[in-house]
Structure 1
């Protein structure tokens, strides 16, 4: 049987593209956690 591996994703930049990528990663079944970093802490939230 195939073992599913859990992934962690780090997104640098919470602008338009970073937010899009984080949203896509959040919907993927193999992604266990997502870390987002941005120069503006309010955007990273």
Structure 2
């Protein structure tokens, strides 16, 4: 069971959904694998 605090509507067309969890985590679900790869390249050195 997901113990999330709130599920928000996406503000970007590449984002499917994002959730804020009670434990402080944030989960972002992107629409395509290519979008996820773009984000990973930006965030990872």
Determine if the TM-score, normalized by the shorter chain, exceeds 0.5: no
TM-score w.r.t. length of structure 2: 0.30
Q: Quick one: higher RCO (CA 8 Å, sep 6+), 1 or 2?
A: 1
Q: Please state which structure has a larger fraction of its residues in helix.
A: 1
TM-score w.r.t. length of structure 1: 0.30
